[in-house]
Chains A and B, each alone.
Chain A
Amino acid sequence: MGQRLDSGDLLAPRRGGPSFTRARRRLARPLWRLPWLRGIALLLPPMAWFLLLYVAALAVLFVSAFWSVDVFTTKVVHTWSLDNFREIVTSSAWRRVITRTVVIAFLVTLTDAVIAFPFAYYMARIASGRTRALLFVLVLLPLWSSYLVRVYAWKVILAQDGILNWSLQKAGLPAANIGYTNTAMWLVFSYIWLPFMILPVYAALERIPDSYIEASRDLGARSFKTFRTIIVPLALPGVIAGSIFTFSLTLGDYITPTLVGGASSTFIGNVVYNTGLGAAGNLPFAAAFASVPLVVMAIYLILARRSGAFEAL
């Protein structure tokens, strides 16, 4: 039924119509007969994009991690060695940075999960349609403003003469000395990534059929037992999906440590930035260090897969 949409029919002489249709049919026939060809035609553009821009960039990054830099000219020398990786593993300073990053990413994920679960539960199963819409807007609202602006706002809030200490002082409490500390980073990260935890948990909780809960009650389970044995296991994939966001986003960040972190707040991202662009321009080392979060994330995803989180997605 292509006649109406076919501009060829309107513009070309009458004879052109059937031949055009014929050509189209000829083209369509193999695609119809051979599903794999159809699959390739559909997948080719996104796959090409994915391979060329995404995988290729990662491959180049990984390959250059085995190169080194000439000390004097800071030009990249293309000789293969494991020195960069050896330095990462043996230096206590780099180990400290990696541990710090992973621990804070873990704490942020935990915090977000604890805050997000009751919130999402209320949104999904208790709130009326109107309240739910309002809560959705509230969760998403911060994402409409720039990430940088929000981190800067926290920097101002937590500063020594900032709003937090001012409020504490007005309330007659001692000043909280948390500006430029790891506590400040944990707080800001937890705030920034919270929506990324709430949304998947909400989606998981919303999908639990009411009948399951009724069945649990009918079989004599108390509220807590229903929660523990029905709701938590069914919502867990959502929590894990959210944790992948919060964990990986924290792991790769370097702006928040720069802005609200203190003297001992260097993250993996900061080392990549400092060694790559800043001091000495050692791009190969920066590339080697940039593969650390990749490895950490790969381990994390394997663990998440083991727990069965992907089966329910």
Chain B
Amino acid sequence: MSKIRKAHVLVALLAAALCVPASGAGKTSGLPTKIGKGEGKLTMIGWEGYLDAKWVKPFEKQTGCKVQAKYAGSSDEMVTLMRTGGGGQYDMVSASGDASLRLIYGKDVQPVNTKLVPGWSQFFKAFQGPPNNTVGGQHYGISLQWGPNTLMYNTKKIKKAPTSWGDIYSSKYKGRITVPNNPIQIADVALYLSKTQPSLGIKDPYELNKKQFDAAIALVKKQKPLIKKYWGLSSDEVSLFKNGDTWLGASWPVTTGTLQAAKVPVKEIIPKEGATGWLDTWMLSSKTKHPNCAYKWYGYISSPKVQALQAVTWGETPANKLACKEMDKLSKGSCAAYHANAPESYYRSIKFWKTPIADCGNGKKDCTDYTKWVSAWTQATS
């Protein structure tokens, strides 16, 4: 009998132990103050490759949190997925700058207590509270990695390295070009126009008035006959380059890395006009059922070693300062190659993705908002 009673007590204690931290890390009463026992599960939406077995498997082993990964091909898909079924189906999302503000203002994500994330204090200042994930002093998520949107080309087919984005708008490589099927691509067009048609007066590629926006859309339409295919997932672009269908395209470093690993002769450059770029943030759903596992993930993914591993694997730049040394350990010279040692100036040279809104910040509200971007992009490319 005493045995049974002991078992009862044990069960009760265990239940209590499970309940208390879970409620402690809940969403309602402010920020959680400590990380409890893991819930055994974590559902995550990530960019392709962001939930690679290389770093997810050790995490699962360490914490017992089984990761259910769902890859999304675009920021829009991420926002939609975070909202399906009233939210709460997914715990975390690796949102880029063009999605994060929409998630914050839509109340789909919750603030994070950075004190519970040791790696955060080792971050470069710029990534501790960047405007795309920090609103009103609240940190809605922890920055992850960042990088530019590059111009990739096949070195066998294109002997002379391109230097300008102009090559993807000229008929020189007609039918051999690919660009992402993503409304934010309009910013790339605007960036190019800001350098080639200064009379338009484009200062920020995400803040376009009607005239500037129309000029960008006109160029999108002009570019369409030159395009072989608009790629959706980065794996689409991989197969386009692998099978020789395209020679030149707007791309992500992860794509270049994958292709180079597969011995496809490709290189990527940042053209003279500069580049747009992204800064990704792991954000936490406001309706998450697995907050403890989520905080464990935060601690894990922002540690220097894991940051370095992801950076080297996908050719990105980590947010953690201490990751530089780890990167060189994994692959000599990679820290400098991806500007992980002195990123502040490099960071400023990139026009980071952000959600276009009507308020241009100049007192006037005549900028085209994201809905217009989406509708114009979808129609121009259909």
Interface residues of A (CB under 8 A from B): 71-74, 91, 93-94, 96-97, 155-156, 159-162, 177, 179-180, 258, 261-264, 266, 270-271, 274-275, 277-281
Q: Which of A73, A155, A159, A280 contacts B76 (CB 8 A)?
A: A280
In the complex, are the beta carbons of A277 and B77 less than 8 A apart?
yes
The reply on B380 being an interface residue by CB < 8 A is yes
Could you say which of A72, A162, A275, A280 has the most chain B C-beta atoms within 10 Å of its C-beta? A280
Which residues on B sit within 8 Å (CB–CB) of A274? 378
Interface residues of B (CB under 8 A from A): 74, 76-77, 79-80, 83, 102, 105-106, 175, 183, 224-225, 227-230, 232, 239-240, 243-245, 369-371, 374-375, 377-382
* From B227, B239, B371, residue with most partner A Cβ within 10 Å: B371
Residues of B within 8 A of A91 (CB): 379
B276 to chain A, nearest CB (A): 18
Known: A74-B83, A281-B83. A263 touches B224 (CB 8 A): yes
The answer to whether A266 touches B80 (Cβ under 8 A) is no
Q: Which residue of B has the minimal Cβ distance to A71?
A: B371
Chain B residues lying within 8 Å of A275, measured Cβ to Cβ, are: 378
- Contact status A177-B83, CB under 8 Å: no
Closest 6 CB pairs of A and B: A159-B243, A93-B379, A160-B244, A263-B227, A161-B244, A279-B374
Contact B245 A280 (CB under 8 A): no
Q: Contact partner of A159 among B102, B175, B245, B377, CB < 8 A?
A: B245
Of chain A, the residue at the smallest CB distance from B230 is A263
Minimal Cβ-Cβ distance residue in B for A260 = B229
Known A71-B371, A262-B229; contact A177-B382, beta-carbon cutoff 8 A: no
* Alpha-carbon separation in the docked complex, A71 to B357 (Å): 11
Q: How far is the CB of B132 from chain A (nearest CB, A)?
A: 17
Shortest Cβ distance from B377 into chain A, in angstroms? 7
Query: Complex: how many Å from CA A162 to CA B381?
Result: 26
Residues of A within 8 A of B225 (CB): 263-264
Residues of B with C-beta under 8 A to A177: 175
Instruction: Flag if A266 contacts B381 (CB, 8 Å).
Output: yes
Q: What is the bound-complex CA distance between A275 and B382, given in angstroms? A: 12
| Chain B nearest CB, measured from A270 CB (Å) | 8
Residues of A near B382 (CB, < 8 A) are: 93-94, 96-97, 266, 270-271
| Chain B residues, CB < 8 A from A180 | 228-229, 240, 245
Name the residue of chain B whose CB is nearest to the CB of A156.
B243
> Bound complex: CA of A48 vs CA of B29, how far in Å?
47
Of B74, B229, B239, B244, which is within 8 A of A278 by CB?
A: B74
**B77–A278 CB distance below 8 A:** yes
With most chain A CB atoms within 10 A of its CB, the pick from B74, B77, B378 is B378
Q: Taking the nearest CB of chain A, how far is it from the CB of B47, in angstroms?
A: 15
Partner of A258, one of B80, B232, B239, B370: B232
Complex CA distance for A162 and B244, rounded to whole angstroms = 9
**Chain A neighbourhood of B175, CB < 8 A:** 177
- B243 is contacted by which of A94, A160, A270, A281 (Cβ under 8 Å)? A160
Chain B nearest CB: distance from A49 CB in Å?
Answer: 24
Q: Are A160 and B245 in contact (CB under 8 A)?
A: yes
User: Measured between C-beta atoms, what is the minimum distance from A237 to chain B in Å?
Assistant: 36
Beyond A159-B243, A180-B228, is A278–B76 a contact (Cβ under 8 Å)? yes
- In the complex the two chains form, what is the Cα distance from A261 to B23 in whole Å? 50
Which residues in B have their C-beta under 8 angstroms from that of A264? Answer: 224-225
- Chain B residue with minimal CB distance to A266? B382
Once the chains bind, are B245 and A73 in contact (CB under 8 Å)? no
Chain A residues contacting B224 (CB-CB under 8 Å) are: 263-264
Note all chain A residues with C-beta closer than 8 A to B371: 71, 280
In the bound complex, residues from chain A placing their C-beta under 8 Å from that of B83 are 74, 281
Shortest Cβ distance from A261 into B: residue: B229
Alpha-carbon gap, A177 to B240, bound state (A): 14
23 A-B residue pairs with Cβ-Cβ distance under 8 Å, sorted by A, are A71-B369, A71-B371, A73-B106, A93-B379, A93-B382, A97-B382, A159-B243, A159-B244, A161-B244, A162-B243, A180-B228, A180-B245, A261-B229, A263-B225, A263-B227, A263-B228, A264-B225, A266-B382, A278-B76, A278-B77, A279-B74, A279-B76, A280-B374
Query: Which of A274, A278, A281 has most chain B Cβ within 10 Å?
Result: A278
CA–CA, A162 to B370, complex, Å?
39
Q: B378–A271 contact, CB under 8 A?
A: yes
Closest Cβ of chain B to A268, distance in Å, is 10
**A248 CB → nearest B CB, Å:** 22
**B189 CB to nearest chain A CB (Å):** 15
How far does the Cβ of A308 sit from chain B's closest Cβ, in whole Å? 38
* A71–B105 alpha-carbon span in the complex (Å): 12
Complex-state Cα separation, A179 to B105, whole angstroms: 42
Partner of B106 from A74, A156, A266, A280 at Cβ < 8 Å: A74
